[in-house]
Amino acid sequence: MAVSFFLSGIWDTIAAFLYFFIIGSGRLIEAPPIDPFFSIFLGSFFICFAYLQFMSAMNIERYAFNVGWLIIGRLFYVVQLYSFMLCVQDFPPTFWFTGIIDGLFTILYLVFSIRGGLSARDLFLPKIKNALL
């Protein structure tokens, strides 16, 4: 699981550079136009996302909660992406490959979580060892 987490961090780093330098108004995609601020904002989000995955890969059991939310986030992205590609007229089909890659990472997270003995509680409800009350 840690390897797939680390590889998905690399994938998100690539996505960040794509948003920083290729995607956006006046760059690769013109229809619909994407404001440069928006592409820089998404790129910075992907950098943070990648960092989270790199650090989580170092201690997957401690950060199982991150795995659960990455499953939800990637699944939401894949569903949203393909919904737009299928239902929105003139939406560029340029990103079909990202949906496949993110879908594969989601499947890997689920398979490795189950095989590693992580429960749904581990993935979606954080463990609290010492609560400050």
Q: What is the domain partition of the chain in residue ranges?
A: 2-124
Q: What's the farthest any 2 CA atoms get from each other in the chain? A: 54
pLDDT score at 50: 84
pLDDT score at 77: 83
* Unique residue bearing structure tokens 């007229």: 89
**Taking the chain (133 residues) in consecutive chunks of 10 residues, what is each chunk's mean pLDDT?**
84 86 64 60 80 80 77 86 83 81 89 85 73 54
Q: Give the whole-angstrom CA distance, residue 99 versus residue 97.
A: 5
Q: One-letter amino acid identity for 132?
A: L
What's the pTM value of the predicted model, to 2 decimals? Answer: 0.68
